[in-house]
Amino acid sequence: MSETLLSVQDLHTSFFTDNGEVQAVNGVSFDLNPGEILGIVGESGSGKSVTAYSIMQILADTGKITQGKVLFKGEDLTKWNDKQMQGFRGKNCSIIFQDPMTSLNPVFTIGNQMREAVVLHTDRRGAAADARVKELLELVGINEPEKRMKQYPFEHSGGMRQRVMIAMALACEPDILIADEPTTALDVTIQAQILELIQSLQKKLGMAVILVTHDLGVIADMCDNIIVMYGGRICERGTAREIFYNPKHEYTKGLLRSIPNVSNMKQKLVPIAGTPINMLNLPKGCAFCPRCDAAMKICLSEVPQELTINEDHKAACWMNVKAAYEEASRNE
Amino acid sequence: MSETLVDVRNLKQYFPVKVGIARTIPLKAVDDISFTIGRGETLGLVGESGCGKTTAGRSILRLYKPTGGEVYFNGELVTDKNITHMRKKMQMVFQDPYSSLDPRMTVEDIIGEPLDVHKLCSNRKERHERILELMETVGLNAEHATRYAHEFSGGQRQRIGIARALAVKPDFIVCDEPVSALDVSIQAQIINMFEELQDKLGVAYLFIAHDLLVVHHISKRIAVMYLGKIVEIADADELNEHPIHPYTESLLSAVPIPDPDITRARQRIILEGDVPSPLKRPSGCPFRTRCRYATPQCAEECPDLSDRGGNHLVACWVK
Amino acid sequence: MEEQKPLKKNPLSMQLDLSKFSEETFKAATDEEKRQQDVMGESTTFFKDGMRKLFKNPLAVMSIVVIVLILLIITFAPMIVPYKYEEILSVNGVRDKGAKNLAPFKYSQLEQEYIDNGGSRFPHLFGTDEQCRDYFIRVVYGTRISFFIGFFASIIVLIIGMLYGSISGYLGGKVDLVMMRIVDIIYSLPDMLMIILLSVVLNEVLKFSSGSLLAKLGTNMVSLFIVFGLLYWVGMARLIRGQILSIKENEYILAAKSIGTKPGRIIRKHILPNCLSVIIISTALQIPSAIFTESFLSFVGIGVKAPMPSLGSLANAAREGLQSYPYKLIFPAIVICLIVLSLNLLGDGLRDAFDPKLKR
């Protein structure tokens, strides 16, 4: 495999609110290779979106990267100034958001907004820029691009707007596309269209995609590698098959038990007990421990370290250590 | 089949929409739908946003005044006159656990409101005890009775909403996307609770959702809606294994299945284009603009539901 | 594969120093221990949360302190200061003609003699005016009047606006359309012109029995109240209508309907409590604007009737001797500024603390 495109190392991001510091991301590290589709899955408050925003440095005013590095082709983005980051966004890395309704400016036409993106990041001007906009719209499967360019966002449906957003994100063929819940606001049949589009574009343009979502179905469908997050930390990472068929973290196991089983629909669901994590008041040990059925004494006090299960799979759960310990003591 | 509890016949719900200064045209949110729900049974109602599934649930409970058609509950016609009385037997759980609970009321007052409205408790002590009992039924901690709704997480709020619906001991609850605003791990908690309540209290549900997996899991029968019409209605497993209507077929194939091997192996039918606006409904069959099999006949006349055997009703000319 | 397995052993043990663990570490945690990790936050009501935010806002706290101070002074000062606002100063029953336009803390010749002879005399904190009246007590009474007018004008605005707005908002449809067009018409009337015209007309029409409070205030003030009642409620009515329209859209109203709640109860139990904060905030912001209008009118000479002072009329009277006695303008001006500024800041603080739309 070729060199790493993006390497996030021990990333910590906090939000400083009236009620205190919220540690949204707590030491996340991962590598992204060119042409890879990486899925980050987690519930609300797991820090999955904040991780993506930290890479782009588009956090809200109260948010700050407090520790760690984000290396893009070996250069640390956290040391870059605003101007350099502006160059990075759009040119090297683009993001599409959940809500295509609010991410387009309602008072400008589609063509207008797209032309701006093209002019900003490339040296095409005038007719050349227009041609590029048309080309991009065709690329994302929009019929009659010339007509569409003259229309305003409200004249388009949700799926169409998401296509426009993707076209804009692709304006200068970025190396990385971050998709933050790209289909959550869309209907099932439209979701299928958009997912297919992202997949085919990824193949065509060879970019790396980071897909942030809470939908295990989407993740299973789309991703080569998966990161499971909970409480701002990575629980488990591995290939799609490893995560779905051989989960090694209690949270991942619980998550998979709590969705309807496709092969046996009437099988009773096994929910994860308790309530979602309170980010203002993180547990001292493993973040998942208050909701975990298998929680042990050590889970209460110590954060589990990440261990390699096999070359495609890593997990941070004390249960794995317990298994190793028991095996070792049996062997003695 | 068990005895019929809710019988919806030719329900229509149109909303006037202003075009120009004085002209209005009807928005046919729900256009002539009929189905029945048995006692203690769950009917799933699926469809995409704007297909009228939420409106259907609301007009059955007469939160809107239906434009046409009748709803019979337990054999009795639901009218404006008897609706207050009927609401003791028909209840609703809402989608958004944040906006469906009054932020200025404590949990006790929210759950107690139906008791007050229908004067079901003779004194404060009885009311308090009943509220605590309801809170226990839905798995809420009794010490939280004096707290305000905004202090709870989404799942707990949805539990409060369910306790409110259960307060009057209803026979039928319309669940309007009750889990779609919740995290996956919490969804399972709420779905299980719905199932347990059904076993224990024998309530019937109209379970409205867009998540086909969840609907399939919880429902006995499933109705599929498209642009205000029911296009197919069948037993859950039958519908899932042998979908007949082209829309159901593509809907099922578009659902992302959380299993990498299955989801990557299957053939997806990707529908072209978007759902037409309900204001500009295609003539004839509403689905024909996106349908692979559309024939000239589809543009002329709208197909009615017809039985394809085994209580599997489909509205399609071609299939 | 079969043969490889024992060779590989457990890969985990190689990454770890297992010796630091013991059986104890892997014992199951009790539910109690788990619960301790996951505590629900302190219970706060909407009101408590709002108050906490309000008291975190230094500007709002300062405004509260200033307002409370002013209120204390205007309540208790008349009990302590032995002068009356319309009283022309006299010493031992003799009119003190020398006590004209005294500077703060100065005594007139007569008073000085009196003090020298062993009598005690309360100091003129703000000096005296050109009619030999104690200026401090006049400013205190002026503030009283201004507060009184501000408060009651806001109450009038609130009552009319709330009734009109809630009817319009709740009924909606055609009723709302007609009611809101009426509001638009009233909105377009120039308020100052209306006040001046009305006070002229009312001067002729209204005659009050002397001695009553209304007579003391004068017809100008009564017309001011009437104008407030007629004109200024429209803003409040619009605001409340908007609030009710948006609250009506909330699912909890639909939920209330679905459990069979009657409209009266819905308004009482759900709609009004939810727009209460907005009502309180805008009333708080209405007070300074009413005070301002009153001061302005009194300043141009159509405010309260002499000898009753108001902050505006005091400022107006001070214009004449502005170069010799600037403090006579400065005192009422500062008080107006303080009141209006702190009420405005407090209103803003209340809005930040209680309006959920601004909630982070």
pLDDT digits (tens, 9 = 90+) for B173-226: 999 999 888 888 889 999 999 999 999 999 999 999 988 889 999 999 999 999
Whether residue C7 is predicted with pLDDT greater than 50 in this model: the reply is: no
Query: Model-level pTM?
Result: 0.82
- Give pLDDT, residue C213: 65
Compute the residue count for chain B.
319
Best mean pLDDT range from A177-186, B202-211, C227-236: B202-211
- Give pLDDT, residue B193: 92
The pairing of beta strand B68-73 with beta strand B221-226: unpaired
Q: Are B92 and C258 in contact (CB under 8 A)?
A: yes
Six-digit token string for B66? 């239906």
Neighbours of C139 (CB within 10 A): 24
Quick one: fold of B4-89+170-314?
Rossmann fold (3.40.50)
Which tens digits make up the pLDDT trace of A246-291? 999 999 999 999 888 877 777 888 888 888 887 777 888 888 888 8
Smallest Cβ–Cβ distance between A275 and the set B155, B261, B271 belongs to: B155
Give the residue from B95, B100, B146 with the most C CB atoms within 10 Å of its CB, the best one to mutate.
B100
Whether residue C209 is predicted with pLDDT greater than 70 in this model: the reply is: no
Q: Which residue has the tokens 């159901």?
A: B248
Categorise residue B72: left if φ over 0, alpha if ψ from -120 to 50, beta otherwise. Answer: beta
Q: Are C340 and C291 in contact (CB under 8 A)?
A: yes
How much is the CA Rg of chain C, to the nearest whole Å? 32
The set of chains that have 3 or more CB pairs under 8 A with B is A, C
- Give pLDDT, residue C105: 75
Give the residue from A18, A277, A292, A321 with the most C CB atoms within 10 Å of its CB, the best one to mutate.
A321
Q: Are C127 and C83 in contact (CB under 8 A)?
A: no
Q: What is the pLDDT along chain B (319 residues), one digit of tens a residue?
A: 468 999 999 999 998 888 777 788 888 899 889 999 999 999 999 988 888 899 999 999 998 889 999 999 988 898 888 888 888 899 999 988 888 898 888 899 999 999 998 888 888 899 999 999 999 989 888 888 888 887 788 888 999 999 999 999 999 999 999 988 888 888 999 999 999 999 999 999 999 998 888 999 999 999 999 999 999 999 999 998 899 999 999 988 888 888 888 888 888 888 887 788 888 888 888 898 888 888 888 888 888 898 888 889 999 988 7
Confidence bin at C37 (pLDDT 50/70/90)? low
Alpha-carbon distance A266 to A262, whole Å?
9
Largest CA distance in chain A: 77
**CA of B63, closest CA in chain C: separation in Å?**
7
Alpha-carbon distance C59 to B19, whole Å?
50
Q: Are B217 and A179 in contact (CB under 8 A)?
A: no
Above 0.90 for ipTM, yes or no? Answer: no
Amino acid at A245: Y
C58-80 and C327-354 helices, crossing angle to 10° = 130
Give the residue from C49, C177, C251, C274 with the most B CB atoms within 10 Å of its CB, the best one to mutate.
C251
Taking an 8 Å Cβ-Cβ cutoff, which residues of chain B contact chain A? 48-49, 153-156, 183-189, 191-192, 195, 210, 212-214, 216-217, 236-237, 240, 250-251, 253-264, 268, 270-271, 274-275
Six-digit token string for A172? 């200068």
Please report residues of C whose CB lies closer than 8 A to that of A290: 34-35, 37-38
Q: Are B90 and B61 in contact (CB under 8 A)?
A: yes
Whether residue C9 is predicted with pLDDT greater than 50 in this model: the reply is: no
C256-273 residues labelled b (16+ CB within 10 A) or e (exposed) = bbbbbbeeeebbebbbbe
C55-93 residues labelled b (16+ CB within 10 A) or e (exposed) = eebeebeebbebbeebeebbeebbeebebebeebbebee
Write the CB contacts of C345 (distance below 8 Å, at least 6 apart in sequence). C59, C60, C62, C63
Whether residue C269 is predicted with pLDDT greater than 60 in this model: the reply is: yes
Alpha-carbon distance A135 to A167, whole Å?
9
Cβ-Cβ pairs closer than 8 A, B with C, add up to 73
Q: Tell me the average pLDDT across A26-42.
A: 92
Whether residue C21 is predicted with pLDDT greater than 90 in this model: the reply is: no
Which tens digits make up the pLDDT trace of C311-354? 888 888 877 777 778 888 888 888 888 888 998 888 888 877 77
Which tens digits make up the pLDDT trace of B125-151? 999 999 999 999 898 888 888 888 877
Alpha-carbon distance B263 to B267, whole Å?
9
- Give pLDDT, residue C6: 41
Cα-Cα-Cα-Cα torsion C333, C338, C339, C343, nearest 10 degrees, comes to 140
Whether residue A190 is predicted with pLDDT greater than 50 in this model: the reply is: yes
- Give pLDDT, residue C3: 38
- Give pLDDT, residue A240: 92
Q: CB distance from A197 to chain B under 8 Å?
A: no
Whether residue A165 is predicted with pLDDT greater than 60 in this model: the reply is: yes
Categorise residue B317: left if φ over 0, alpha if ψ from -120 to 50, beta otherwise. Answer: alpha
Interface touch A215/B256, C-beta < 8 Å: yes
Six-digit token string for B258? 């959380």
Q: Tell me the average pLDDT across A119-126.
A: 83
Compute the residue count for chain C.
360
Q: Are A178 and A210 in contact (CB under 8 A)?
A: yes
Whether residue A2 is predicted with pLDDT greater than 70 in this model: the reply is: no
The helix or strand, by DSSP H or E, that contains position C258, with its residue range, turns out to be helix C251-258
- Give pLDDT, residue C5: 40
Alpha-carbon distance A250 to C297, whole Å?
74
Of the candidates C97, B262, C24, B12, the one whose C-alpha atom is nearest the C-alpha of residue A297 is: C24
Our measurement of the distance from residue A134's CA atom to the centroid of its chain's CA atoms, rounded to an integer in Å, reads 28
What value, to the nearest 5°, has the Cα angle with vertex A198 and ends A193 and A201?
120
Q: CB distance from A155 to chain B under 8 Å?
A: no
Smallest Cβ–Cβ distance between C251 and the set B61, B96, B117 belongs to: B96
Confidence bin at C12 (pLDDT 50/70/90)? low
Q: Which residue has the tokens 């060779």?
A: C7
Please report residues of A whose CB lies closer than 8 A to that of B183: 43-44, 214, 276
Q: Are C304 and C221 in contact (CB under 8 A)?
A: yes
- Give pLDDT, residue C360: 35
Write the DSSP symbol of residue C352: H
The helix or strand, by DSSP H or E, that contains position A49, with its residue range, turns out to be helix A48-56
Alpha-carbon distance B238 to C332, whole Å?
85
Neighbours of C185 (CB within 10 A): 9
Of the candidates B28, B83, B75, B90, the one whose C-alpha atom is nearest the C-alpha of residue B56 is: B28
- Give pLDDT, residue C358: 45
The pairing of beta strand A20-32 with beta strand A6-17: antiparallel
Of the candidates A7, A17, A83, A27, the one whose C-alpha atom is nearest the C-alpha of residue A305 is: A27
- Give pLDDT, residue C45: 65
DSSP string, chain B: -PPEEEEEEEEEEEEEEEETTTEEEEEEEEEEEEEEEETT-EEEEE--TTSSHHHHHHHHTTSS--SEEEEEETTEE--TTTHHHHTTTEEEE-S-TTTTS-TTSBHHHHHHHHHHHTT--SSHHHHHHHHHHHHHHTT--GGGGGSBGGGS-HHHHHHHHHHHHHTT--SEEEEESTTTTS-HHHHHHHHHHHHHHHHHH--EEEEEES-HHHHHHH-SEEEEEETTEEEEEEEHHHHHHS--SHHHHHHHHHSPPS-HHHHHHSPP-PPPS-PPPGGGPPSSSTTGGG-TT--HHHHH-PPPPEE-STT-EE--S--
Amino acid at C169: G
Which tens digits make up the pLDDT trace of C63-116? 999 989 988 988 888 888 777 777 777 777 777 777 777 777 777 777 788 788
What value, to the nearest 5°, has the Cα angle with vertex B175 and ends B169 and B181?
130
Q: Tell me the average pLDDT across C270-287.
A: 83
Q: Tell me the average pLDDT across A77-95.
A: 88
Of the candidates B246, B242, B235, B244, the one whose C-alpha atom is nearest the C-alpha of residue B286 is: B246
**Domain range list for chain B:** 4-89+170-314
Where does residue B304 rank: exposed (0-12), middle (13-18), buried (19+ CB within 10 A)? exposed
Provide the 3-class DSSP secondary structure of residue A204: helix
Is the pLDDT higher at C171 or at A234? A234
Whether residue C1 is predicted with pLDDT greater than 50 in this model: the reply is: no
Q: Are C81 and C74 in contact (CB under 8 A)?
A: no
On average, the pLDDT of chain C sits at 78
3-class SS shares of chain A: helix, strand, coil, % to 5: 40, 25, 40
A250-257 and B184-201 helices, crossing angle to 10° = 40
Alpha-carbon distance B171 to A200, whole Å?
49
Whether residue C196 is predicted with pLDDT greater than 80 in this model: the reply is: no
Q: Tell me the average pLDDT across A15-42.
A: 89
Bond preceding residue A34 cis, omega within 30 of 0: no
- Give pLDDT, residue B10: 93
Is the pLDDT higher at C349 or at C16? C349
Alpha-carbon distance A150 to B78, whole Å?
50
Question: A254 to each of A248, B225, C158, how far by Cα in Å?
Answer: 11, 33, 55
Please report residues of C whose CB lies closer than 8 A to that of B84: 260
Amino acid at A306: E
Compute the residue count for chain A.
332
- Sign for the CA dihedral angle at A121, A123, A129, A132 comes to negative
**Which domains, and CATH codes, for chain C?**
47-80+133-358 (1.10.3720.10)
Amino acid at B113: E
Write the CB contacts of A299 (distance below 8 Å, at least 6 apart in sequence). A285, A286, A289, A292, A318, C29
Whether residue A239 is predicted with pLDDT greater than 90 in this model: the reply is: yes
Whether residue A201 is predicted with pLDDT greater than 50 in this model: the reply is: yes
What value, to the nearest 5°, has the Cα angle with vertex B48 and ends B45 and B54?
55
The chain B residue lying nearest A160, using CA atoms, is: B274
Q: Tell me the average pLDDT across A107-124.
A: 86
Where does residue C178 rank: exposed (0-12), middle (13-18), buried (19+ CB within 10 A)? exposed
Q: Are B124 and B157 in contact (CB under 8 A)?
A: no
